[in-house]
Amino acid sequence: MNVHNPSKGKLLISEPSILNDKSFNRSVIYLSEHSTEGCIGFIINKPTEFILQDLINDINCDFKIYNGGPVEQENLYFIHKLPHLIPNSVQIDNGIYWGGDFDILTNLLNSNTIKPTDIRFFLGYSGWSITQLNEELEESTWTVVENKYPNILQVNSDSIWKNQLLEFGGEYKIWANAPVNPNLN
């Protein structure tokens, strides 16, 4: 598989070889930070059963929460495209931002100012040291691809991994169509 260098705004696509990995099987990770200190991203295709008001009583909002990764799963993170409304946001790439002033965000959510297509919430994140990620890339655990989605916050979490594999072609087409649990086949 053709491997690009990881950087902010790119996607990590989990290889079929890690289907037994509970945290990352069939994962697509949006990289939000990549530096000499490490790499951070959020799994964008693993919704949880929770909505925002399940976790924060002060917020009257039913936006879905995603499993961002195995690190710090007790913390809530968010990416969005509203830097003009949410101060202290950090640009990731292509109009997508990470974090910002949570008090202001709370007020915006409670006043129904924000649409679910403008923001995505995550419990936890995915993180690596640069050495660790490079080793995993060499072991073909991940494939790095450009983010070609005009709004990564609107991707269909049910089909993004499968669609990426279908684009890779070849033997990936077989894996793309394999059942989630082969034992049930």
pLDDT band (50, 70, 90) for residue 18: low
Cβ–Cβ < 8 Å for 29, 9: no
Among 3-12, 24-33, 169-178, name the one with the lowest average pLDDT.
Answer: 169-178
Q: Specify the pLDDT at position 1.
A: 46
pLDDT category, 98, cuts 50, 70, 90?
Answer: very high
Query: So what's the pLDDT on residue 15?
Result: 86
What would the DSSP string read from start to end of 108-154? HHHTT-S-GGGEEEEEEEEEE-HHHHHHHHHTTSEEEE----S-GGG
pLDDT of residue 36: 87
Residue 56 confidence (pLDDT) above 90:
yes
| CATH 3.40.50.720 holds for 11-184 | no
pLDDT band at residue 53 using 50, 70 and 90 as cut-offs: very high
Over residues 127-133, mean pLDDT:
91
Dihedral sign computed on CA atoms, order 105, 10, 181, 73: negative
What is the rounded average pLDDT of the residues 36-62?
A: 94
Q: Please indicate, yes or no, whether the overall pTM of this predicted structure exceeds 0.85.
A: yes
Q: What gap in Å lies between CA 32 and CA 12, rounded to an integer?
A: 11
